Amino acid sequence: MTQSLQDPAVLLAMGRTPDEVRARLAAELDAFENELRARQADWSRPQAGREWSPAQEAEHVLLINEGITRLVGLLMSERELRPLPQTPGVLKDGKRQAPAHTLPSAEGLAWDELDSRWTQHRTRLEAAAAQVRDVPERTMWHPFYGELDALNWLRMVAGHLDSHRRLLKRSAGA
């Protein structure tokens, strides 16, 4: 088994029980959405100290969350889990780098698509989260944290939202 780059125990900061994780996820979804809505004026401009615009941050987060929504559904199902390659994530200057399939387009998410895409993704994500229970024996590989069960994948989503919201907030003040 490949060694994880980071200790998954840090994810416990997002909640210990499924209900705590769902509540934290809802709070992080609200906070990230609010930060996005405050960025219309510079939506397509790369952020200070960052390579991405708010439009690209939004698109990246949607890509991640949509994929994890499907993954959580699989982990909560009775379907067979097939082993996947355990490819460790890439760190650049100590920062986690997004896998290629989660990189945003050059333009990012169009402002006029934000409402519909965000609502659709959030509805699906929260529906999947509502089904999550502690099933530690059903796991899938994460490039930075190693094997994660569905509850830890939700913790990771909440933490990812928090991280990108903080990046957006910092860049707005720069």
**Is the alpha carbon torsion for 97, 159, 171, 31 positive or negative?**
positive
Q: Is the pLDDT of residue 157 over 60?
A: yes
Domains within the chain, CATH numbers bracketed:
8-172 (1.20.120.450)
Q: Is the pLDDT of residue 78 over 80?
A: yes
Torsion from C-alpha of 135, 137, 125, 50, nearest 10 degrees: 130
Q: Is the pLDDT of residue 146 over 70?
A: yes
pLDDT band at 1 (very low <50, low <70, confident <90, very high): very low
pTM for this one?
A: 0.93
Q: In this predicted model, which residue has the larger pLDDT, 66 or 94?
A: 66
Instruction: List, in sequence order, every residue forming a beta bridge with 147; answer none if it has no partner.
Output: 141
99-135 per-position pLDDT tens digit: 899 999 999 999 999 999 999 999 999 999 999 998 9
pLDDT band at 173 (very low <50, low <70, confident <90, very high): confident
pLDDT of res. 149: 97
- Report the distance separating Cα 10 and Cα 28, nearest Å: 17
pLDDT band at 153 (very low <50, low <70, confident <90, very high): very high
Q: In this predicted model, which residue has the larger pLDDT, 3 or 106?
A: 106
Q: Is the pLDDT of residue 141 over 60?
A: yes
Pairing of strands 95-96, 91-92: antiparallel
How many CB atoms lie under 10 A from the CB of residue 15?
18
Neighbouring residues of 63: CB distance < 8 A, sequence distance ≥ 6: 101, 102, 104
30-47 per-position pLDDT tens digit: 999 999 999 999 999 999
Instruction: List, in sequence order, every residue forming a beta bridge with 56; answer none if it has no partner.
Output: none
Q: Residue 142: which of 113, 110, 102 has the closest Cα?
A: 102
